[in-house]
Amino acid sequence: MLPYPDIEPEAWAAVPAGPDSFHLVWREHGGGLYNALIDLQGQTLRGPIRLSLPVNARFEMLPLSGGQGLILAWEPGDPTVTGAVIDSTGRPRITGSRAFASLQMFTAGIDSSQNLHAVWIVLGAGGTAELYYSDSSLDSFFDASLPVPAPLTSIDLSEMDTITSLDLGTDASYGYVLVGITSADRPDAERVLLLNLPLSDPSAAVTSTLALPSDLAAWNDAALFVPAAEDRAALLRWPRFAQGQSAQLRAVVAIRTVQGWQPVLVAFDAGHVVAAGIAAEDAVDGGPITAAIDGDSDPVLVWTSLQNTEPHLLAAAADFHDASPDLSATILAGMAGLPLAALWLALPTMMLIVASKFPNAALWIASALYAALKLLFPSGLFQCGPALLLALDATSISVPVVTVLLIALIAASAYRLSVRFSLPLWARWIVYGAADALLTWLAFGANTTPH
């Protein structure tokens, strides 16, 4: 317990100051922001210090290199964001301020290169909310001479809608924004919008709804993630990104299942959701989930649960491995698909052998059968698709269909070349099968987008 018996914090945050200490920042119930440097036993090493920031400011606390911390403070309805850096010994200093439009909500994040990414929402006329994004170094973020960027997107709001949460996360090449919107007719749940934007070209941002099925498996048992149709998606609330670095960006959200509200872990990679699963069986009914990445790159989840009207603090700190399957899981999945693969391979082979007196007819009949069997028994092909083509038309089933037909045509052309070089029949089939397998893997395995 911290030795501060007289404080009544309305909000607080902490970031590491070193291996054995933390920067703690909080806003008092009566107004005023404070910081203190504390050790792992809760003993004060420096502070509390009252910060020269607006007394009723909302704030973000972000970790910087060298055990420093960054505070970004603003007040709803005010255009100014003020920054303060706390050094590794707990001493704060104001670094600058910058005026934007009248802010409704603001959030920010620091990437592995110490660049500052910021997102904010400005309420517009006619029931819209405009979302802005900025990417800069810490020093240039407070350069008042820089123009305010153009809005990335507009969010349509009804008279019953309220934006209740805003969070930002980044990986090596993409930024992700989670926007929670509640409606007056269902205030206990949030419609969660997901904005993914290439860091190299933020103007190419794509907005979608985070839609999770209500029958999610446990995280470590989760298979390939397939988004639920929006009209069949489960209710969500309290979306947040995990703090810290790992191979995949992680987020947490509470999902409504038949067991009640449960914590869900979501993984992002290359601009898309790649996995989602239940992190624990315990109820999430006392407040949002907080998540951080530990030294082993595993997320630690903490939340409150009401048990007989008494709040209890719960934590889940298990080995939540990455969504990509290990070697044994890949082998087992391949064995499970062997019967279907044999069907794909056997019939074209039989056609090539049986109809060998008419090689041209055999080739095209075999190719047609091969492609048709893939379309009739896709074995998960339609769960993913070529990223480039799906970016052009993310909703049409014609994209994977056309891709399968193109693969068959190219593989057939490879077979024709083997005939021209007078290869034996078995070698021709190896050429045909190898070309088809490689192209199928490139289109539906190595460079895919959840569809």
Residue 369 in this model has a pLDDT that exceeds 60? yes
| 399, amino acid identity | V
Q: Which residues contact 430 (CB under 8 A, 6 or more apart)?
A: none
The separation between the first and the last C-alpha atoms of the chain, rounded to the nearest angstrom, is 49
Q: Are 93 and 107 in contact (CB under 8 A)?
A: no
3-class DSSP state of 367: helix
Q: Which of 22-36, 88-102, 109-123, 228-242 shows the lowest mean pLDDT across its residues? A: 228-242
Up-side HSE of residue 238: CA atoms within 13 Å toward CB?
Answer: 23
Q: Is the pLDDT of residue 225 over 80?
A: no
Write down the mean pLDDT value for the chain.
76
- Tell me, what's the pLDDT at 1? 53
317 pLDDT exceeds 70?
yes
Mean pLDDT of 224-246: 75
In the predicted structure, residue 285 carries a pLDDT above the cut 50: yes
Tell whether the model's pLDDT for residue 15 goes beyond 80. yes
Q: Residue 308, class by beta-carbon neighbours within 10 Å (0-12 exposed, 13-18 middle, 19+ buried)?
A: exposed
| Token pair 């290990």: residue | 326
Average pLDDT of the residues in 231-257: 82
How many angstroms separate the CA atoms of 227 and 129, rounded?
A: 26
Three-state DSSP class for 211? coil
CA distance 72 to 107: 9
Q: What is the mean pLDDT of residues 118-147?
A: 83
Q: Please state the domain extents for the chain.
A: 210-324, 327-450
Distance CA 24, CA 31 (A): 16
If one counts every other C-beta atom within 10 angstroms of the C-beta of residue 217, the result is 12
pLDDT score of 392 more than 50: no
223-255 residues labelled b (16+ CB within 10 A) or e (exposed): eebebbeeeebbbbbbbbbbbbebebbbbbbbb
The token duo for 118 is: 């910021």
Indicate if the pLDDT at residue 363 is higher than 50: yes
**Above 80 in pLDDT, residue 41?**
yes
Q: Percent of the chain scored above 90 by pLDDT?
A: 4
| Whole-number Å distance between alpha carbons of 449 and 78 | 40
